[in-house]
């Protein structure tokens, strides 16, 4: 760090979030599983010395990833190379690794490479780092808001520890808010009521940077240093604006929220289902994607326990793709609550999976001759269709005959749940099995 960089870091013109960035592990807020005094990883880090491990910091914005990386990179006798992913290519990374190898050989000094937004590196750029990490020439710290298993090469992940960061809790945010207002020469209690304080935390959405930016904006907007009376929630929102949820249509927030919605519907919890729907509505999730997921769920998780569920889901798809947001939310709410409250069965889905497994294992078994198409003279001469009995000619539309290939005759795939409409199906299915049993007894 040169004198100009040091002067810039001390400048009062820097954003409040930068001025309050912790300089040691003890100053950090949140992440107790990783950073508390008794946390195993913290002890491991403190005992690592010059043999720093390589690790990936994964979590939402403003939870301390970059701060931790900076603290670790300040370790004495370790040279740090900062390589922001948006400014770095394969050529630059190769040059960094070459310098690190030379530094290790000549100066016996370990190099730490910090790559912020590491998910922005493409596969080839990531591969440049592998050999140097493997050889011990460098340690890597990568920070990302995206799930590493989705965005990083498996070979790179296998050489690193992945540390999952959580959004900051209300207690964490309160501690930061106290520090923030003190740094602005005022107090938390002078600015917000208790209700407004929790609204401030909600707007921050677990993001320390967003919280401190909000505090700085508030304090700069009040020439007197503090309002005459602490702000109530509506006054706070008027100054800061509405909360923007953490969401993107191709990342973890997208998939995690959809997953939570589907699992809540499957678990027959309409309240949780409507909550996750509300988050998707506020994020303006792609209506066609969301509707498709509901159509799939109607067949996979409800199926014949309530055959109308599929009709409702398909009608929802038609409706929401025609009207779009915001009115689509009304149709989604109707559909989601119907599906959540419908009886559940995955009998059809499980039967299909069992049948697929059998097909994969046994291949294309010969179809019984009576079931083959006999529409041509040649097929008839080969015996196709011979011996087939038209089921409607039997009592109640049933005649006992074998339909499966001989090699897998008698295999059962469908196990009905007995819930909802499947009770009726089970009754008919039981009668069919009884007729087959009688037929086999008569033939023997």
- The set of long-range contacts for 327-331, using a CB threshold of 8 Å and a minimum separation of 24, is 328/287, 329/277, 329/281
Residue 337: which pLDDT band, with cuts at 50, 70 and 90?
A: very high
Q: Is the pLDDT of residue 7 over 60?
A: no
CA-CA distance, 67 to 70, in Å (whole number)? Answer: 5
More confident residue, 187 or 8: 187
Residue 253: which pLDDT band, with cuts at 50, 70 and 90?
A: low
pLDDT tens digit string along 339-375?
Answer: 999 989 998 999 999 988 888 888 878 888 887 777 8
The phi-psi region of residue 149 (left if phi > 0; otherwise alpha if psi is between -120 and 50; otherwise beta) is alpha
Helices 270-282, 252-266: inter-axial angle, 10-degree rounding: 160
pLDDT tens digit string along 154-175?
Answer: 888 888 888 888 888 889 999 9
Residue closest to 64 by CA, chosen among 174, 171, 176, 159: 176
Determine the 3-state secondary structure of 142 from DSSP.
strand
pLDDT of residue 252: 54
Determine the 3-state secondary structure of 398 from DSSP.
coil
pLDDT of residue 3: 33
Tell me the mean pLDDT in the region 396-400. 77
Phi, psi of 153 (to 5 degrees): -60, 135
Say what the alpha-carbon torsion angle 63, 69, 71, 73 is, to the nearest 10 degrees: -170
Ranking 37-41, 246-250, 320-324 by mean pLDDT, the lowest is 246-250
Residue closest to 245 by CA, chosen among 236, 256, 233: 256
pLDDT of residue 285: 84
More confident residue, 11 or 268: 268
pLDDT tens digit string along 285-334?
Answer: 888 999 999 999 999 999 988 999 999 999 999 999 999 888 999 999 99
pLDDT of residue 242: 57
pLDDT of residue 438: 76
The residues near 297 (Cβ < 8 Å, ≥ 6 apart) are 262, 265, 266, 313, 339
Q: What is the largest CA-CA distance in the chain?
A: 101
Residue 218: which pLDDT band, with cuts at 50, 70 and 90?
A: confident
Q: Is the pLDDT of residue 261 over 50?
A: yes
Q: Is the pLDDT of residue 399 over 70?
A: yes
pLDDT of residue 12: 62
Q: Is the pTM of this model over 0.95?
A: no
Q: Is the pLDDT of residue 4 over 60?
A: no
Q: Is the pLDDT of residue 244 over 70?
A: no
pLDDT of residue 295: 95
The phi-psi region of residue 108 (left if phi > 0; otherwise alpha if psi is between -120 and 50; otherwise beta) is left
- DSSP H or E stretch at residue 383: none
More confident residue, 49 or 81: 81
More confident residue, 350 or 387: 350
pLDDT of residue 330: 94
Tell me the mean pLDDT in the region 364-389. 80
The residues near 374 (Cβ < 8 Å, ≥ 6 apart) are 380, 384, 385, 386
Per DSSP, what are the bridge partners of residue 139? 112
pLDDT of residue 247: 47
How confident is the prediction for the chain on average, in pLDDT?
83
Tell me the mean pLDDT in the region 418-441. 78
């Amino acid at each position: 760090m040169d004198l100009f960089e040091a002067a810039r870091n001390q400048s009062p013109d820097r954003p409040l979030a930068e001025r309050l960035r912790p300089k040691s592990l003890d100053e950090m807020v949140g992440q107790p599983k990783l950073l508390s005094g008794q946390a195993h990883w913290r002890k491991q880090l403190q005992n690592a010395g010059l043999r720093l491990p390589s690790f990936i910091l994964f979590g939402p914005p403003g939870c301390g990833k970059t701060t931790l990386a900076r603290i670790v990179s300040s370790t004495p006798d370790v040279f740090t190379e900062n390589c922001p992913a948006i400014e770095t290519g394969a050529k630059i990374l190769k040059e960094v690794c070459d310098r690190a190898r030379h530094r290790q050989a000549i100066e016996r000094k370990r190099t730490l490479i910090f790559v912020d937004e590491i998910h922005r590196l493409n596969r080839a750029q990531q591969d440049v780092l592998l050999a140097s990490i493997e050889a011990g020439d460098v340690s890597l710290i990568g920070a990302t808001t995206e799930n590493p298993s989705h965005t990083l090469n498996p070979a790179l992940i296998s050489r690193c520890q992945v540390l999952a960061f959580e959004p900051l809790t209300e207690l964490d945010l309160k501690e930061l808010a106290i520090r923030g207002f003190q740094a602005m020469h005022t107090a938390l209690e002078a600015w917000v009521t208790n209700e407004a304080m929790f609204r401030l935390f909600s707007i921050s959405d677990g993001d320390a940077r967003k919280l401190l930016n909000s505090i700085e904006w508030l304090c700069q907007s009040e020439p007197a240093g503090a309002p005459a009376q602490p702000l109530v929630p509506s006054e706070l929102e008027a100054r800061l604006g509405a909360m923007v949820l953490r969401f993107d249509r191709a990342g973890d927030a997208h998939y995690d929220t959809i997953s939570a919605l589907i699992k809540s519907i499957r678990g027959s919890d309409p309240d949780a289902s409507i909550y996750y729907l509300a988050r998707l509505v506020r994020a303006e999730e792609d209506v066609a994607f969301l509707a498709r997921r509901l159509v799939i769920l109607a067949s996979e998780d409800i199926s014949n326990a309530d055959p109308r569920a599929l009709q409702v889901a398909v009608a929802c798809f038609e409706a929401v793709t025609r009207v779009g947001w915001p009115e689509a939310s009304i149709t989604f709410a109707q559909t989601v609550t119907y599906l959540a409250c419908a009886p559940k069965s995955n009998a059809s889905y499980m039967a299909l999976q069992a049948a697929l497994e059998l097909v994969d294992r046994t291949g294309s078994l010969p179809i019984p001759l009576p079931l083959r198409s006999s529409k041509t003279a040649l097929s008839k001469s080969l015996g196709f269709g011979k011996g087939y009995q038209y089921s409607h000619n039997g009592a109640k539309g049933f005649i006992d005959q074998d339909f499966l290939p001989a090699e897998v005759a008698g295999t059962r795939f469908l196990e009905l749940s007995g819930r909802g409409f499947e009770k009726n199906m089970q009754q008919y299915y039981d009668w069919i099995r009884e007729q087959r049993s009688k037929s086999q007894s008569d033939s023997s």
